[in-house]
Chain A
C-alpha cells in the first residue's frame, strides 16, 4: 500500500500539473510580451521618426534662410546641436549628444558641404548617398565605423543641396533592451511564483485525495466503521470524500444487516438446538440400560453435525459477502502449521499416510488465529479422509515477496476433474466424501477474508496440490524484502 501512495515529488500528480500549468503560463506571458515589445518598439520608432521629420524640416528652413556666408556653418551647426539636445528617449546621464546625432548637408554636386557630428562626415555621406533616402520616410542607415545604425531623415533645399539629420538608434535599442531585461526578470519571478503556487495548491488538494485513498484502503474487509477524512470546503475532493463516506455507510449498513440476519439465524437455531441436545442427553442418562441409548447417541451426533454445518454455512456466507469478523493477531504460520501437523500426524500414520512439513523459518501473518486453525484443519482433514494408505502429504511453507505461500502436495489419486472445476464452491464434494461439502468453500472464504487466495490442481506425476497465499504482516515485510 505505502509504496503506491508515497512517491517522490517528481512522480506526483501535483508536480505534473504544476509543470504543465507553468509551461502554459510561461508561453502565454512570453507571447504577450512579444506583442507588447513589438508595439513599444514601433511606437518608439514612430516617435523618433516624427521628431526627425520635424527637426529636418526646421533645419531645412534654417539652412534655406541663412545666407551662405562664413557664419552659415556655425548657425546651422548650432541649430543642429540644439536639436540634438532634444533627442527623444535620451537617458539623463547622457551629456554630449554629439555621437548620437549627426547633421549633414550635401551640396548639389554631391559633396559634403556641412558636417556636424562625431567622426568624419565622408563615411556618413557615402552611406546616406548609398541608402538613397526618400524625403518622406526616415530610413535606417548603417554607417561605417558605427555598430548601431542611424535613423536618417532628409529634406531637399531649394538651392539643390540636401540636408540629412541622423539619429543613432542606440538609445532606442537601450530602452528596448532594458525593457526586455526587466521583463525577463519579472517573467522568471512570475513563472517561479506561479509554479510554486500551483504546485503547493494542487499538492495540498491531492494530499487530501491521498489521505482519502489511504483511509479507503485501510477500511478493510472486517473494519467498516472508519470513514475517509472530509474537509469544510465544498470542492470536488470534499464531494468525493462525502460520496465515499456515503457509500461506506450503505455498505456498513448492509453488512450490519447481514450480521443481524446471520446472528439472529444462528441464535434462533442454536437456542432450540441447545435445548434439544440437553434433553437428548438427559434422556440418555435416564435410559441407563443402554436399550434405547443407541438411537439417542446417533441423534446427538446428527445434531452436532447439523450445528457444525450451520456454523460453517454462516461463516462461508459471511466471508463471501466480505462480512466475516476477524480478530487479527500476529501469528507465526510456521509454528501454527507445525503444531497442526503434529496434531494430525498420529491419525495419518494410523491410516498409513505419512506427513512432512518443510519451512525456512518463522513466517509472520496478521490473521485470525481461530479461523486459520480451522482452515488448516480442513485441509489436513481432507487429506486424512481422502488419501489411501502408503501416500505422503508434503506441506511447504515459504515467503515470496510480500506473501506467505503454503503448499500442500500429495501423491494420492488427485482431484476428480469434475470436482476440480468447482472445488471452492459450496456443496462440492468428491463421490467418496462423507462431509457436508463446505470444507473447501470455507478454506477459500477464510483465505479471501484475509486478502489471500487459494488455488488447486493435479500434479503431473499424480496426486493433488493446493496452494494458499496469505499477505505477510505489514511490519514484517521490509525485513523480509531486505533479506531477499
Chain B
C-alpha cells in the first residue's frame, strides 16, 4: 500500500511517516504542494494524506489539481481549522475524509483503511451482510446470529450494520458517531460505549464467541475470523 503524505510541519511529517510505515504502509512524503504534484504524477498511490495549510498553496486547491491530473486515490484531509468549512465537506461527499488536528494515530489509521477499503469494494448494493454466524437482512432490517433472531432497536441495527460493513477493521468512536448519528465531534462523555455494551449484550450473549471486540483507547472491531 503506497501513501503520499503532504505535510509541511517537519515534526508531524516525521512521526506520521514513521507511524504509517510501522503500520505497514509505504510512504512518500512531500512538504509542499509543488513537490506533491510532482510526486503524484507517476506511479499510482493507494491513498493521499493532505494537510490543508501548505506553504505554497491551499490543500483543497492541491486536491482539485491532483484530481484534474487524473489522480483517483482517496484523500484523507488533515485540518488545523476547528470548524471545517463547506469546501472540505464537499470533498467528503466525493468519498474523501477529513480529520482535525490533533488526532489519534489509531483514528487516522482506521479512517485511512476505511477509505482505501471503500475505494476497492463499495458493496453497497448487497441486501444481506454476513460475518461469521452473524447475518443482517438489510431489507427486512433483521439481524440474526446462528439462526437466532436478535431483538435490536432501529439504532442498534444501524450500529451493527456499520460494524459489519467494516468487519475486521477498527472503527473509532468518532467514526461511529459520524456514520451512525451524523455527528462530527466527540462528546466528552463516552456515550457511544454504552450503545456498544448494549449491542454486545444482545449479539454476544449466552456464552457465544464474542464478536465485538474493544480496542482499548482506539475503538471497536467486529471480528471476521
Q: Which residues of A contact B (CB under 8 A)?
A: 263, 266-267, 270-279, 281-282, 285, 297, 300, 303-305, 307-308, 311, 314-315, 325, 327, 339-340, 342-344, 346-347, 350, 370-371, 373-374, 377, 381, 384-385, 435
Contacts and interface: CB of A to CB of B under 8 A. Distances in A.
B18 A282 contact: yes
Q: Which of A274, A342, A373, A374 has the most CB of B within 10 A?
A: A274
Contacts of B64: none
Given A278-B19, A347-B189, A271 B195 contact: no
Contacts of B104: 277, 281, 300
A278 B15 contact: yes
A282 B19 contact: yes
B12 A275 contact: yes
A327 B103 contact: no
A342 B101 CA distance: 28
Interface residues of B, number: 42
Contact of B191 (A266, A277, A347): A347
B80 interface: yes
Contacts of B15: 275, 278-279, 282
A274 B102 contact: yes
A480 B187 CA distance: 33
Interface stretch (B126-134, B142-150, B164-172, B177-185): B177-185
B138 interface: no
Interface string B118-141: 000000000000000000000000
B1 interface: no
B19 A344 contact: no
Given A277-B102, A384-B189, A311 B184 contact: no
Given A377-B187, A381-B187, A274 B12 contact: yes
Nearest to A314: B82
A426 to B, nearest CB: 17
Contacts of A344: 191
30 contacts: A270-B80, A271-B11, A271-B80, A272-B11, A274-B101, A274-B103, A275-B9, A276-B102, A278-B12, A278-B15, A278-B105, A282-B19, A300-B217, A308-B186, A314-B82, A325-B83, A327-B85, A327-B86, A339-B182, A340-B181, A343-B177, A347-B189, A347-B191, A350-B194, A371-B83, A373-B183, A377-B183, A377-B185, A377-B187, A381-B189
A327 B82 CA distance: 13
A271 B181 CA distance: 29
A271 B83 CA distance: 16
Interface string B182-212: 1111111111101101100000000000000
A435 B22 CA distance: 36
Interface of B: 9, 11-12, 15-16, 18-19, 22, 53, 80-86, 89, 101-106, 155, 177, 181-192, 194-195, 197-198, 217
A394 to B, nearest CB: 19
A285 B102 contact: no
Given A267-B80, A271-B11, 20 more contacts: A263-B81, A266-B82, A270-B101, A271-B80, A272-B11, A273-B101, A275-B15, A277-B103, A285-B22, A303-B102, A305-B188, A308-B186, A308-B188, A325-B83, A339-B182, A343-B195, A346-B197, A347-B194, A370-B84, A371-B83
Nearest to A278: B15
Contacts of A285: 22
Contacts of A272: 11
Contacts of B217: 297, 300
A467 to B, nearest CB: 22
Rank and list the top 10 A-B pairs by shortest CB-CB distance, nearest first: A275-B11, A278-B15, A274-B102, A346-B194, A274-B101, A273-B102, A277-B102, A347-B194, A281-B105, A377-B187
Nearest to A286: B22
Nearest to A324: B83
A459 to B, nearest CB: 24
Nearest to B15: A278
Contacts of A278: 11-12, 15-16, 19, 102, 105
Q: Which of B19, B83, B104, B192 has the most CB of A within 10 A?
A: B83
Nearest to B194: A346
Contacts of B177: 343
Contacts of B155: 342
